[in-house]
Amino acid sequence: MTFYYSLVQWSGLGQPKFIGLKNYATIFSDRVFMLSLINTVKFTLATVPVLMVLALSLAIVLNKKIPLRGVIRSIIYMPAVVSMVAAGMIFIWMFNSQTGLINYVLEFLGFSKIDWINDPSYAMIMVIITTLWTRTGYNMVIYIAGLQSISAEYYEAAQIDGASSWQQFRFITMPLLTFTHVFIMITCVIHSFRAFDLIYTMTKGGPLNSTKTLVVYIYDMAFQKNRFGVASAAGVILFLILLVFTLIRMRIDRRNA
């Protein structure tokens, strides 16, 4: 039905009017749509590498036998089960320009307050930080599973040959985690392109469309402006983008089975 609605002009009421590919022409000539696409790509590029590095670093540390390892794992994973709306509300308070904890710390360190929510230069940074908090634990668990699947014999042989810790990490851990790396990367990319609830809770795509992503654009077009045809066309574009990454992930799953 989304494919069908992308070819019609429809406000949600009455009879849809067939207009062919005009909705696609509309979105590709719409500055806000292009900005939303760019914001989505920026959001993805900013979150995915950092998520992977943080998750892998934590997984390596927490895969070792250290005191309270299980408790620390649980604490880091806990944000993954928190509602995105609840997480958004928590971080809105933390980033509040007047009473927020973040600005309190910045002032304590001698820096000026930042109007995180209303400043287009910082709003996306605020959303990215919140996303890192909510997603790192989930990826960490997957990395831990990947690390535990590596046989200890490889490391024992490397130690006998005199390999340093860095050499073991570079030539054993990283290559043998290839499928895990790719799986997490694809999963994070898909999640980033689908991001909506957290962003809409914190900024609603503002200020000045600085945090508006593709899904927020689709929501606004459909349920704020009643332009369901245009929203459906944008939805088809998003579907095609996610389809590519999903097919890659399915291929990886089959190879790793």
| pLDDT tens digits for range 52-70 | 999 999 999 999 888 989 9
Question: Cβ atoms within 10 A of the Cβ of 168, count?
Answer: 16
Domain total of the chain: 1
pTM, 2 dp: 0.91
Dump pLDDT digits (tens) for 164-185.
989 999 999 999 998 899 889 9
Classify residue 129 as left (phi > 0), alpha (psi -120 to 50) or beta.
Answer: alpha
- Domain assignment present for 31: no
* CB contact at 8 A, 94 and 101: yes
* CB contact at 8 A, 97 and 103: yes
pLDDT at 256: 63
- Domain assignment present for 90: yes
Q: Cα(201)–Cα(204) distance, rounded to whole angstroms?
A: 6
Dump pLDDT digits (tens) for 183-242.
899 999 999 999 999 999 999 999 999 999 999 999 999 999 999 999 999 999 999 999
pLDDT at 80: 92
- Domain assignment present for 33: no
pLDDT at 192: 94
Range of the domain at 156: 2-23+38-256
The CATH number of the domain where 226 resides is what? Answer: 1.10.3720.10
- Domain assignment present for 213: yes
pLDDT at 59: 96
Q: HSE-up of 136 (CA within 13 Å, CB side)? A: 21
Position 217, amino acid = Y
* CB contact at 8 A, 221 and 232: no
Maximum alpha-carbon separation in the chain: 76
**Mean pLDDT, range 81-89, rounded to an integer:** 93
- Domain assignment present for 230: yes
